[in-house]
């Protein structure tokens, strides 16, 4: 160091011709540092965010005069979305709406910087394309888990604690908006707990990072490259990004995905309380403005067994501050039944804690696991009854079931007389409320002959489908721009 200091002193005293001077490197400014950080993070993250191609069935599009552009009630539909690799052995999380009613799902890895698949360097241009299996889906959280089989470990990302996320943090959205693969957008956290529907306990991370159709299922990451959420929706009057995007908090994603992988279904924790937010007037009465006010306790349920009462204010859950009822509800349903939690509460101004073992939340028809391998019965594909289907088929407003979208003409179902547009009401004398439930029940039915109750042209009737007359359904053909990949 002393030698260097002497050299510096001498150089200051000796005149040097201008052409012989070496300019010192310009110091990095904050923007340059940010740019380099984002670039490095993008290189690290991109391989673990995939593009998903889904082929299924939906209502035929209508032209400007309202006439169907394709014949038949239901037409083949191709769509794309995004997904995040959750484990190196091939489990991938995405949105349920990306793969809902899909008969075929494929997953494409992002290409490396050289235009090659990092796992298979000989593959040109784009990443490798995998056939994917739907392990399970959860409608309530709009999440699904896929599985692909790869000969080499897949790249993964670290998961953050979404409870630690704060408003104003920089976030990055990775995905495939409008089919444009491997895209990145930058923004901030607009809100950490945005409730979109008043009666829905689901709360979302709101961000102004541009999100568009196709981003669904992609990753929302913090500045350290950790996943804080799964992009799921936008609020827009035009259909494009208006800077109001929503992501499912990764803590909930982790819980749902683990249950889908282990059991194929999702069960949610249940405390057994009715809650009310603390308005300014209530806060003045109870002496606090933070927490969830207990209005009722369900007899015999966990909160009642633990001694919680009406008028208690729940302030913490496992040591973390409870800001409001929605915050508490989301935290509870993110935990599986049987989990023991520590609840802090105020009663008559005095603090106390109690341990509570969560129960199973009452069953909901919105939660279902699904498989897209064979559809329903023998050669039958089904879809949910939408408002358009109900109007087109002139169905009663309270009729529930699954509409048949396709029947293999060589199958036992076709021989039994099932046809496109029939509504499946029962399978083996068990009620069907939606398409996912039909798939689930069909997997449980022993057969070989299945009693099916359907609705057709204003009346219900029974048919018997012979499951022994198997005829594999022909998989949908590849989209033109994806063939031979």
From the list 301, 283, 269, 270, the residue with the least C-alpha distance to 346 is 283
Tally of CB atoms within 10 A around 115: 11
Residue 270 CB contacts under 8 Å (≥ 6 apart), including other chains: 301, 302, 332, 337, 358, 359, 360, 361, 362
CB 456 within 8 Å of CB 404 = no
Using only the alpha carbons of the chain, give its radius of gyration: 28
Q: What is the helix, strand, coil percentage profile of the chain, to 5?
A: 20, 35, 45
Tokens representing residue 238 in the block: 């035009």
- Report strand pairing: 143-147 vs 313-317: unpaired
In 3-state terms, what secondary structure has residue 125? coil
CB 186 within 8 Å of CB 209 = yes
| 195 to 191, 206, 330, 469: CA distances (angstroms) | 10, 9, 10, 49
Tally of CB atoms within 10 A around 391: 9
Give the catalytic positions in this structure: 97, 142, 216
Task: Give the integer Cα–Cα distance in Å for 155 and 199.
Answer: 38
């Amino acid at each position: 160091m002393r030698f260097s200091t002497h050299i510096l002193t001498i150089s200051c005293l000796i005149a040097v011709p201008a052409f012989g001077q070496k300019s010192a490197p310009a110091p990095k400014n904050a923007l340059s540092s940010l740019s380099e950080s984002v670039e490095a993070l993008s290189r690290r993250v991109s391989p673990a965010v995939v593009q998903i191609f889904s082929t299924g069935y939906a209502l035929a599009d209508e032209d400007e005069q309202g006439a169907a552009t394709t014949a038949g009630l239901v037409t083949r539909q191709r769509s794309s979305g995004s997904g995040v690799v959750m484990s190196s052995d091939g489990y991938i999380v995405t949105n349920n709406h990306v793969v809902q009613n899909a008969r075929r799902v494929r997953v494409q890895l992002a290409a490396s910087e050289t235009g090659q698949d990092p796992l298979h360097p000989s593959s040109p241009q784009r990443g490798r394309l995998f056939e994917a299996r739907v392990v399970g889906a959860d409608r309530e959280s709009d999440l699904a888990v896929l599985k692909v089989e790869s000969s080499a470990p897949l790249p993964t990302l670290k998961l953050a604690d979404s409870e630690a996320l704060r408003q104003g943090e920089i976030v990055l959205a990775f995905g495939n908006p409008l089919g444009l693969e491997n895209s990145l957008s930058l923004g901030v956290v607009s809100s950490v707990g945005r409730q979109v529907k008043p009666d829905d306990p689901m709360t979302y991370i709101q961000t102004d990072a541009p999100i568009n159709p196709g981003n669904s299922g992609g990753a929302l990451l913090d500045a350290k490259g950790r996943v804080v959420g799964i992009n799921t929706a936008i609020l827009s009057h035009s259909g494009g990004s208006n800077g109001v995007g929503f992501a499912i908090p990764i803590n909930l994603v982790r819980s749902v995905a683990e249950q889908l992988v282990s059991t194929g279904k999702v069960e949610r924790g249940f405390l057994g309380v009715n809650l009310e937010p603390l308005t300014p007037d209530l806060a003045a009465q109870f002496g606090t403005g933070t927490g969830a006010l207990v209005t009722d306790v369900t007899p015999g349920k966990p909160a009642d067994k633990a001694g919680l009462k009406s008028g208690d204010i729940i302030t913490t859950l496992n040591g973390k501050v409870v800001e409001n009822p929605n915050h508490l509800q989301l935290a509870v349903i993110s935990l599986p039944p049987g989990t023991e939690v520590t609840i802090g509460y105020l009663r008559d101004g005095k603090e106390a804690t109690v341990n509570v073992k969560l129960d199973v939340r009452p069953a909901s028809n919105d939660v279902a696991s699904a498989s897209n391998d064979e559809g329903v019965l023998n050669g039958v594909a089904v879809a949910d009854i939408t408002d358009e289907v109900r109007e087109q088929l002139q169905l009663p407003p309270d009729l529930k079931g699954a509409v048949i979208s396709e029947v293999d003409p060589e199958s036992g179902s076709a021989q039994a007389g099932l046809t496109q547009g029939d509504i499946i009401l029962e399978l083996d004398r068990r009620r069907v409320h939606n398409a996912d439930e039909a798939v689930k029940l069909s997997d449980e039915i022993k057969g070989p002959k299945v009693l099916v109750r359907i609705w057709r042209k204003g009346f219900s009737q029974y048919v018997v489908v012979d499951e022994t007359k198997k005829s594999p359904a022909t998989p949908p053909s590849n989209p033109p721009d994806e063939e031979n990949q």
